[in-house]
Amino acid sequence: MLVISKTPLRASFFGGGTDFRGYFAQSRFGYGTALSTTLDMYVYITVLKKFDDQIRVCYSQNEVVDRVDELKHNIIREALKMTGIEKGVEIIYSADLPLATAGVGLASSSAIAVGTLNALLAYKGEYASPERLARMACELEIGRLGNPIGIQDQYAVACGGFRRYKFYADGSVSAEPVLASEESMGRLKSSLMLFYTGLTRDSSKIMREQTDSIGEKTALLDSMVEDAERAHRALCEGNPDSWGPALDAAWSKKRQYASGISNGVIDGMYAAAKSAGALGGKILGAGGGGFLLLYVPAERREAVRQALSGYREIRFRFEPAGSQIIFYD
């Protein structure tokens, strides 16, 4: 038996922070919301039957254990427990990003969780809907591991595509495709640039501070919901160019949310990009490092590229699909 899952990474544009249960469970709107898209960068999980009863997990390390509880890889360990697979299996994790670059803001941890659960359930002969995968991944990362994170990433990588997510007070989640014209989406995509800061970070400290300060930042989070709603309307009405200044304003708000979200390297990159013609942008994910997303008019792209020539530009496309089983035998 051999199963391979393929799960995309994601870029979140607006609404980050409003997907924390501490906010959307008591939001005056009745929900939190986020706008995001999956990208053509992936996490691959291979599951195959092992000759003996041991468990082998291969990533940047190679673990061979007799019992599930002995595994150090916490996401894969808990996924095995949740799916009831306790022996005689090999799991291999690979990705389009280096395995050591956790904490880069592209939802790699949630992609590992969703992709592992998808592959393990398929290994058992079970189909898992995107909704089921997302809920299981939330239980794994938040309920079992106690990670101080929101729930948008699990839904984004499970569902895939360019979507508006709403996280309701009753715990339900909607994942609506963004119904913008092909021209509007094309103009948006052609205006986005992505650069790697060269910095990785443990996002848990930043996220813990965000979680602990939700009560104090309710007004700020309310405004982030409104920003996401305006950006969604603008794109659907054929005005993607408004996203540049909107991202700039949202980045200013995000920097107020927790310490460590920005630093000298990020500030320097952002200032250089704006001086060269970028209209706005943001650090993806919790902040502190990872990838800088920029909105740049077509005529200023080369100038921005030159201004950030010391950093690696990542070319990307939007990915319409979420986590998939790409091989089953």
Q: Rg for the chain (alpha carbons), in Å?
A: 20
**pLDDT digits 0-9 by tens, 209-223:** 667 678 788 999 999
Q: How confident is the model at residue 207 (pLDDT cuts 50, 70, 90)?
A: low
pLDDT at 260: 75
Domain boundaries, the chain: 2-179+319-328, 182-316
At the top level of CATH, which class does the domain 182-316 belong to?
alpha beta
Q: 231, exposed or middle or buried, with CB in 10 Å at 0-12, 13-18, 19+?
A: buried
Mean pLDDT of 3-18: 96
pLDDT at 254: 84
Q: List the structure tokens of 173.
A: 């989640």
Phi, psi of 158 (to 5 degrees): -75, -45
**pLDDT digits 0-9 by tens, 245-292:** 999 999 998 888 766 788 999 999 999 999 999 999 999 987 778 899
Q: List the structure tokens of 47.
A: 């599951």
Q: Which of 163, 103, 110 is nearest to 137 (CA)?
A: 110
Q: Which residue has the tokens 């800088």?
A: 292
pLDDT at 229: 98
User: Does residue 316 or residue 209 have the better pLDDT?
Assistant: 316
Output the CA angle 286-269-150, nearest 5 degrees: 10
Mean pLDDT of 168-180: 96
Distance between CA 154 and CA 109 in Å, rounded? 9
Mean pLDDT of 32-48: 98
Q: Does domain 2-179+319-328 have CATH number 3.30.565.10?
A: no
Same CATH fold assignment for domains 2-179+319-328 and 182-316: no
pLDDT at 105: 87
Mean pLDDT of 199-214: 69
